[in-house]
């Protein structure tokens, strides 16, 4: 088993960097989000490619190599205690070939993002680094939510205060029981798209899944792909987060595909694309009590 590496907690006055590994970033939304980060006592620098734009493809924040170079520069610069993604969208997979993941893991620091950022969480977690699946720097609605914002701040600054990763929103029991293992997962579509690539890393432990804009049949296709690929073979428990804007029948589809695995499972966790997005530490050992609908982190207090 790969050793788990938990980055050092943040402190008042720390300097952090914002990068944009994925989609184009709205400057106004970013400016609003940065005020929240600065209210925590952080000094925030925005890397050059974040607002550069891609000349040909308007859905990308900048050229692939520029995004990758900014990620590397921010991560390896000792003045930065953490790296925040500006937003998701699409683009991480295009730049992964330009990222030396082992180089990054050798310099552990907090890395924050979700959705398309799953494509970076997956290989970083597989190498033992704990990362944060949570609100991003330009996610104004999520940072405006007091509960979600405080969860992110607590995990970064006071991790020992977070004793249940599903509270205070709560979740619903689907299959009762207790499961333990390293927490992995993220965005369903990105996890499925990773299969067969150099950064594919099947989980072993508890998995969290979230998604947005996928109809029931589309979620069925993605889950079926993971099932057929054996992705769930070493999964011990399941935390189903928000499947936002997915239409009718989506919850039933997820249950039909995943309940037969027979592992402890909860649904309705406030993790994903809704205004309340509870940050969770991917790559960290956790204990899922699906009967009580609690998810307890281990090993964060000493970070």
3 state DSSP class of 61: coil
277 close to 134: Cβ distance less than 8 angstroms:
yes
Read off the DSSP letter of residue 55.
Answer: S
- Catalytic residue annotation: 115, 210, 273
H/E element holding 150? helix 146-157
What are the phi and psi torsion angles at 153 (to 5°)?
A: -60, -40
Picking from 259, 257, 286, the residue whose alpha carbon sits closest to that of residue 271 is 286
HSE on the CB side for 79, CA within 13 Å?
Answer: 8
Measure the CA–CA gap between 91 and 61, rounded to whole angstroms: 8
Measure the CA–CA gap between 43 and 52, rounded to whole angstroms: 21
Measure the CA–CA gap between 87 and 114, rounded to whole angstroms: 8
73 close to 100: Cβ distance less than 8 angstroms:
no
208 close to 239: Cβ distance less than 8 angstroms:
yes
What is the pairing mode between strands 294-297 and 285-289? Answer: antiparallel
Sheet-wide strand order for 15-19: 43-46, 15-19, 80-85, 110-113, 131-133, 280-282
């Amino acid at each position: 088993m790969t050793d788990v590496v938990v980055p050092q907690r943040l402190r008042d006055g720390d300097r952090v960097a914002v990068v944009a590994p994925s989609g184009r970033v709205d400057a106004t939304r970013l400016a609003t989000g940065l005020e929240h980060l600065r209210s925590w006592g952080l000094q925030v620098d925005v890397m050059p490619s974040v607002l550069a734009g891609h000349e040909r493809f308007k859905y990308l924040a900048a050229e692939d190599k520029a995004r990758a170079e900014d990620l590397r520069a921010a991560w390896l610069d000792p003045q930065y205690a953490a790296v925040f993604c500006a937003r998701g969208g699409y683009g991480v997979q295009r730049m992964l070939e330009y990222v030396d993941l082992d180089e990054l893991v050798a310099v552990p620091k907090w890395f924050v993002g979700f959705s398309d950022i799953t494509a970076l969480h997956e290989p970083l977690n597989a190498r033992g680094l704990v990362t944060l699946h949570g609100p991003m720097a330009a996610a104004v609605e999520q940072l405006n939510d007091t509960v979600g914002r405080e969860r992110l701040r607590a995990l970064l600054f006071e991790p020992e205060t977070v004793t249940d990763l599903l509270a205070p929103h709560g979740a619903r029991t689907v299959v009762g029981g207790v499961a333990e293992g390293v927490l992995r997962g993220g965005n369903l579509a990105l996890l499925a798209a990773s299969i067969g690539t150099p950064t594919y890393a099947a989980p072993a432990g508890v998995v969290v899944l979230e998604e947005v804009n996928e109809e029931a049949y589309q979620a069925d296709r993605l889950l079926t792909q993971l099932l057929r690929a054996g992705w769930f073979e070493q999964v011990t428990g399941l935390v189903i987060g928000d499947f936002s804007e997915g239409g009718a029948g989506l919850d039933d589809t997820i249950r039909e595909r995943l309940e037969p695995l027979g592992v402890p499972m909860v649904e309705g966790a406030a993790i994903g694309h809704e205004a309340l997005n509870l940050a969770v530490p991917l790559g960290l050992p956790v204990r899922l009590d699906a009967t009580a609908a609690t998810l307890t982190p281990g090993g964060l207090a000493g970070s």
